[in-house]
Amino acid sequence: MTAIAKWGIVLFCVLVPAWLVVNHYFLDIASVSENVPFSNELSNQVPNKVAEQQLAHGLALWRDKKYQQSAQVFSSLGAKTLNVELRSLTRLYQYHANAFNKNHHSDFMLQLSILPDDCKQKLLFVTPDIGSLQQAEYFRARFAQDPRLSSLSICIYDVTWFDPVDLACNENWQQSGRLGCQLKSLAEKLKSVPFTHLVMFADKGKANVHNGIMFLDRQDTYDVFIHELAHFSGFIDEYPLSQGLAKRVCAGVDAPNIVFKQAQQLNVDRQYWQSLGLQNSAHIFAARTCDNHTTQAFKASNQLTFMEYHDTAYIPAHYLIAWQRQLQNTPNQPSAHVNFAQLYEQSNNLSESQFWRARYQQYLSSAANSNTSL
């Protein structure tokens, strides 16, 4: 072997290991630099259980009226890496806590979406309870994706009115056995908001609708919300009403889902059902609504509907036709403006009562004008 060949082998044996060492060194640097963001993200990540505990702590501070401290907890947690659900919930609480601490609704109108002109009912969600904000967001999202109700001219504003200071609710409002809320301060603050109906979310109480205001508690499901929403358009419960309520309801006018046959009538009036496209008289069935009254109620479904057991979530097609027809017939549907007008009439505040009566007339006029243009 020549001397040159020997020197070549020696150089090869020396340089190749040196090259491998250097290359491995720079690869390690690159690998470390690539993993730095990931390691930072891991160090910033909060376990779900810890995040839930911090959220609960923030909510507890809020309920103790420590609003600034609560907002700081939500803001601190919002800066961490959370799973999708906890991040969304934290941001919801963070937004409402900061907004309330900052301006107490002074820029609420700027945050409010503009609803389409064909919305016959414009629902504003309202709550004094920070724990109900998640429920309100869930109902809003479900409603927007509910294929059953896509044909109805009902819209929901995308921001919830949150007032933990001046708005108070009680599960036995005025000894009625039902959920209700103190509305006067709310009426004072909502004068510039273009709502037609309100949905009040409270901690505890029996769900009900009074004129244009719905009251729900934190145990109520989305199906309860839809059941109560139908009451806004005059639908009547199909389960047996109490004797006192049946005395008032069963002696009255027909509802979108119920036709009454008084004791002296020989036959039930089928013209209404025929106007909805039901020509077969065999499709008319006795309802249990007036079981505690001499009147017999009839419905056009032999199945349990959402007006008898809301958990069934079943809304017959002709119920939806009747629902949309009611939405076009606004005078049959008192709005929340009526609630506020009656509230001020009870306290002999004529000027405020007149303001809300005028708002109600505007509501009726705008609906009548839109129907004329159809």
Question: What pLDDT, on a 0 to 100 scale, did the predictor assign at position 34?
Answer: 44
Q: Is residue 57 part of a domain?
A: yes
- On the question of pLDDT at 100 being above 90, the answer is no
Q: Is residue 89 part of a domain?
A: yes
Q: Residues 139, 192: one domain?
A: yes
Q: What are phi and psi of 268, to 5 degrees?
A: -80, 140
If one counts the domains in the chain, the total is 4
Q: Is residue 108 part of a domain?
A: no
- On the question of pLDDT at 112 being above 90, the answer is no
Q: Is residue 98 part of a domain?
A: yes
The Cα angle at residue 231 between residues 213 and 309, in degrees rounded to 5? 125
Q: Is residue 118 part of a domain?
A: yes
Each residue's pLDDT tens digit, 201-219: 999 999 999 999 999 999 9
Question: What pLDDT, on a 0 to 100 scale, did the predictor assign at position 330?
Answer: 66
Side-chain half-sphere of 337: how many Cα atoms within 13 Å? 23
Tell me the whole-structure pTM to 2 decimals: 0.83
Q: Is residue 238 part of a domain?
A: no
Q: Residues 226, 338: one domain?
A: yes
Q: Residues 98, 218: one domain?
A: no
Q: Residues 250, 355: one domain?
A: no
Give the domain extent around 262.
Answer: 243-314+323-330
From 89-98, 145-154, 231-240, 346-355, the region with the lowest mean pLDDT: 89-98
Question: What pLDDT, on a 0 to 100 scale, did the predictor assign at position 332?
Answer: 67
Q: What element of type H or E holds 155?
A: strand 154-156
| CA 194 vs CA 112, 327, 360: distances in Å | 10, 17, 11
Q: Is residue 200 part of a domain?
A: yes
Q: Residues 226, 341: one domain?
A: yes
Q: Residues 31, 59: one domain?
A: no
- On the question of pLDDT at 102 being above 90, the answer is no
Q: Is residue 347 part of a domain?
A: yes
Tell me which of 82 and 320 has the higher pLDDT.
Answer: 320
Question: What pLDDT, on a 0 to 100 scale, did the predictor assign at position 348?
Answer: 95
Q: Give the mean model confidence (pLDDT) for residues 312-341.
A: 90
What CATH number should be reported for the domain holding residue 163? 3.40.390
Q: Residues 169, 274: one domain?
A: no
Are 177 and 156 in contact, with CB atoms under 8 Å apart?
A: no
- On the question of pLDDT at 291 being above 60, the answer is yes
Q: Give the mean model confidence (pLDDT) for residues 345-367.
A: 92
Q: Residues 193, 132: one domain?
A: yes
For residue 120, give the nearest of 154, 96, 86 by alpha carbon: 154
